[in-house]
Structure 1
Amino acid sequence: MKNTVTILMRVVLGVLFLAHGISKLQMGLGNVAGWFESIGVPGFLAYVVAAVELIGGVMLILGLFTRYVSVVLIAVLVGAVFTAKLSAGLLGNGQSAGYELDLAFILIALYLAVAGRTGLSLDSALFDKEN
């Protein structure tokens, strides 16, 4: 049962990050870069974050390098909290979202970073000695 829940957490977190990356592409990365600059974050990081979300999301869905991807995603989430969401508070301020979901995503990614390989993953298929 634990393995099943871990797989679900990995895949769902991957889908959510993939959706966020796709959303940034649909908004236009130039627009996202402009928004980043408006909150004091270098605009080029919009491209980095979008790539991390897209590629990292796919890698989580596939279960490839899950531990490493999770650590990178934690860094992106912590950056989002401290640059864009902290001032709005935990639940938001009515004009912008809070950081409650980011905290949940951080905890899921942290669990994946320390949990090890799960079944139904490329990590297991490629790197387990039993296979």
Structure 2
Amino acid sequence: MKKNEIGQAILRVMLGFIFFIHGVDKFRGGINYIVEYFESLGIPGFMAYVVAIIELVGGIALILGIGTRIVAILTALIMVGAIFTAKLSLGLLGVDGMAGYEIDLALLAMSIYLILARKIYLSLDSLMFKKQENN
């Protein structure tokens, strides 16, 4: 096991955990507030459900290493959307106690890394593909 393989697994699991918690929070805190917030930004309200489900289910998938590249593409799209619709006007570090887009950029970079990675280590995907290669 190489250091970069362990590092990649840690990055994938942390990204998954962060998105999972955000998905849980959207539903626990009342998804209706998120729907209203999306609509105030000019985004159709139903997209709040789409984003919350991707965060919740996608977070679990990333933690387990299932469909990592697909989920990473979806999380990257969510981050690009968040930056350009909600955070860009607040600046990198935010204003008046509101968060900027610095964390969104970090999550975007993590997602892009997983999209571009040649192999996803320590994941259920790698176990499944290894078994297929042996057959």
Counterpart residue number, 1:23: 25
Counterpart residue number, 2:106: 104
Contact 1:117/1:123, CA 8 A, preserved across alignment = no
Structure 1 runs, 4 residues or longer, greater than 3 Å off: none
**How many Å apart are 1:130 and its aligned residue?**
4.4
Normalized against structure 2, the TM-score is what?
Answer: 0.92
More deviation in 67-76 or 120-129? Answer: 120-129
Counterpart residue number, 1:52: 54
Counterpart residue number, 1:93: 95
Contact 1:13/1:60, CA 8 A, preserved across alignment = yes
How many pairs are equivalent? 131
Counterpart residue number, 1:68: 70
**How many Å apart are 1:119 and its aligned residue?**
3.1
SS at match of 2:110: helix
Q: Deviations over 1:50-98 (max 9, x none)?
A: 0010011000000011111101110011000011101100100124210
Q: Deviations over 1:13-68 (max 9, x none)?
A: 00000000001011111111011112221111100000010011000000011111
Pairwise CA RMSD = 1.3
Give identity over the alignment, percent.
Answer: 47
Normalized against structure 1, the TM-score is what?
Answer: 0.95
For 1:68 and 1:116, the matched residues in 2 are separated by 14
Which consecutive unaligned segments of at least 5 residues does structure 2 have?
none
SS at match of 1:93: coil
Which consecutive unaligned segments of at least 5 residues does structure 1 have?
none
Counterpart residue number, 1:113: 115
